[in-house]
Amino acid sequence: MAVLLVLGSKPEPRLPPNDAYDAVACANASGRLARTLGLPDPIFTVISSVLGSRKNPSSGAALKALAGLSTKTLYYCPRQMYRHNLLKRLFNLRELRDCAPGPFTRTLRASGYRFETMVVRPLKSYIRLVETVSGDDPEIARELAAKHPSTGVLAAVIGLAEAGFERVILSGFSFEITHAYADNPAIARRGTAISRHADADIAVLRRISARTGRLLTTEAVVHERTGIPLIEG
């Protein structure tokens, strides 16, 4: 049975035993944490298009963390920045262009990050994949219409639906925007560490776990909030 470890960027993650998984996948700059912990390079990494933004301080920290790292396959995940505010979109056209696939790729390569293959899909394709793995549950559809899932949850779904893994172990997840590789300036600016993706992530993970029984976690907070079985970390 092939098992994938999906590593988030939570500080001090609880890891499963080395013989409990066959490969590692990462989200955004959690590859830096994987390298620090001595884990194998990820077979794939899901990275938000927001990392291409020059205006986002947390994106700059993530790019620094990615320097010198590599992944076999990079999944580019587009985000609908300023989607509810047309005026802001007009005033931030350069930032939106910087986050498009071409400029995004050049920014990553300039930072020293390497990958063999890049997968570019529209956001709706990722959302549809999540809906399918969730059994086309109407409640999940409503959650996803309000807020899209995090790159960590997308990595778990890709592992289950496309990468050929029977089970996925979630480590380094906390439903917060704290990072092991750097302080996140967005926490002070927003006055909270809670992720805006938290509600959607919890709903999706709870549903997939209940429907498939193919998720495990080493993190107590994930177990408590989603019901995913807890394994020793």
Q: Are 98 and 54 in contact (CB under 8 A)?
A: yes
Q: For residue 126, is it within any domain?
A: yes
Q: What is the DSSP letter of 49?
A: G
Q: Are 174 and 221 in contact (CB under 8 A)?
A: yes
Residue 190 or residue 25, greater confidence: 25
Tell me the whole-structure pTM to 2 decimals: 0.92
Q: Which domain holds residue 117?
A: 3-226
Q: For residue 232, is it within any domain?
A: no
Chain segment 52-66, per-residue pLDDT in tens: 777 677 888 899 999
Cα 195 from Cα 170, distance rounded (Å): 17
CATH code at position 205: 3.90.1480
Cα 14 from Cα 156, distance rounded (Å): 17
Q: For residue 231, is it within any domain?
A: no
Cα 46 from Cα 25, distance rounded (Å): 8
Tally of structural domains, the chain = 1
Confidence of residue 19 (pLDDT cuts 50, 70, 90): very high
Chain segment 70-129, per-residue pLDDT in tens: 999 999 999 764 455 555 544 555 666 878 899 999 999 999 999 999 999 999 999 999
Q: For residue 138, is it within any domain?
A: yes
Whether the pLDDT of residue 67 is over 50: the answer is: yes
